[in-house]
Amino acid sequence: FLYESPLTVAISYNNQGKAQTMRWLLRSINESKRAELVKITKDRDFDGDRPIHKYSKGDTIPLNTQVIWYVRQGLVKLTTLGETSEEVLVGLAVPGMVFGSYLTSLHTYQATAISDVRLVAIDVSEILASPALSHAFLPKINQRLQQTESFLVISGLRRVQDRLYGLLQLLKREIGEKVA
């Protein structure tokens, strides 16, 4: 991995595969590294000079295992297929969120524009090569993970009315807008 972490731990093993020693390396992060890690904090930094891809409501968004999509505008429905080939909702990507087949282990994974969307494609190799970009993506990936866990909790509720209420609360929190 190309990111130079301030803390590295290495374990050495004997011939039988049993851990023998653990070595710790602690580095100081100088101000230039700290500035680089903080540099990508605003949405425009994800765009850079990358083209914006536009999809209309109902369009299927093409997925590539080496690309992560960043949502600039709109709403994207993320689904998979259940045992009986029914569509199963696994997430909603809102502005500021990321998605892509690189971020899932599902064999069938589809992204569909629920509204007109504007997306930025970022190559996985670029993220892996840039400590600042990797650092900026962590909270966005965490946001998707938390949403997925919320969907799991909701799907585990026994009563239909409880599942519906939970889903409505999630939608309110994720995509709701305050109105007068």
One-letter amino acid at 80 equals: T
Residue 26 amino acid letter: L
Distances (CA, A) of 37 to 49, 123, 129, 143: 19, 19, 13, 19
Task: Specify the pLDDT at position 62.
Answer: 93
144 vs 35, more confident? 144
Mean pLDDT score of the chain: 80
Rg (CA), the chain: 20
Domains and CATH numbers, the chain: 7-39 (no CATH), 47-175 (2.60.120.10)
DSSP-assigned beta bridge partners for residue 174: none
Is 34 a residue whose pLDDT tops 70? no
pLDDT at site 7: 62
Please, are residues 54 and 116 in contact by the beta-carbon 8 Å criterion? Answer: yes
Name the DSSP letter for residue 51.
P
Instruction: Spell out the residues 6+ positions from residue 33 whose beta carbon is closer than 8 angstroms to its own.
Output: 4, 131
Q: Is residue 163 within 8 Å of residue 157, measured between CB atoms?
A: yes
Alpha-carbon gap, residue 38 to 9, rounded angstroms: 24
Evaluate if residue 77 carries a pLDDT over 60: yes
113, β-bridge pairs: 76
> Which residue has tokens 């992204």?
111
Residue 134, pLDDT above cutoff 60: yes
Name the phi and psi angles at 59, rounded to 5: -70, 145
Q: Name the token pair of 69.
A: 């999509």
Is residue 3 scored above 80 in pLDDT? no
Taken in order 32, 136, 130, 72, is the CA torsion positive or negative? negative
